[in-house]
Amino acid sequence: MADELTFRILLLACYLPGQIIRMLILRRNPFGKPVRTVNPGREMLMYRTGFYLFLLPLIYGLTPWLDFAHFSLPDGLRYTGFLVVVAGTVVLLLSHSALGSNWNGQLNIRENHTLVVRGIYAYVRHPMYLAFLLSGIGTLLLSANWLVGGLLLIWFWIMYLGRVDREEQMMIDQFGEQYRAYMKSTGRLLPKRLV
């Protein structure tokens, strides 16, 4: 049976690289001049809330402060959680790699925005949401902590359900039939096909 320190180290080891790379990308792609935006106040609130919630795994990994929310899980499930977090991190990095300078963390279209249909986007329209879902599920299992994993999953569902339809409408407004055709060939979170 592994001790709790092992799971804390595993969460930090698979969590930190993705967050560091994401911050570096955001620094390279600052919040540029949008030409079309959807509810910027709400977007900034969701973005900031997500940022602070993503600090919870760091607090869990580095301190005992959140131990009161711990629940018991078999080690096998916790190691499975590690693999799910790693999968989420890989999906996140593939998403950023394909998006390049099109990503800035907010729901807007910026100058020189292009429709990305390469890489992971050839299969899934919203792989970053898939990455967040995988990371949330994996974090819940790996940490065995309702607060750490549970709040991330709640935030994900609030963000996803409140955002994805508006995001797709914004893309339709910007790219028209090109985006509609893209929607027919891809799934929102899971691929329609793997060809």
pLDDT tens per residue across span 19-61: 787 777 777 765 556 666 667 677 778 778 877 888 898 899 9
Asked if pLDDT for residue 145 goes beyond 90, the answer is: yes
Is 91 contained in some domain?
yes
Asked if pLDDT for residue 95 goes beyond 90, the answer is: yes
Q: What is the pTM of this model?
A: 0.88
Asked if pLDDT for residue 77 goes beyond 90, the answer is: yes
Is 192 contained in some domain?
no
pLDDT of residue 35: 63
Is 194 contained in some domain?
no
Mean pLDDT estimate for the chain: 87
Instruction: Report how many domains make up the chain.
Output: 1
Mean pLDDT for the stretch of residues 80-95 = 94
Asked if pLDDT for residue 108 goes beyond 80, the answer is: no
Asked if pLDDT for residue 104 goes beyond 90, the answer is: no
Is 53 contained in some domain?
yes
CA distance 45 to 39: 10
Is 154 contained in some domain?
yes
Residue 137: domain span: 4-28+36-104+113-185
Q: What's the CATH code of the domain at 14? A: 1.20.120.1630
pLDDT of residue 1: 65
Identify the residue with better confidence: 97 or 143.
Answer: 143
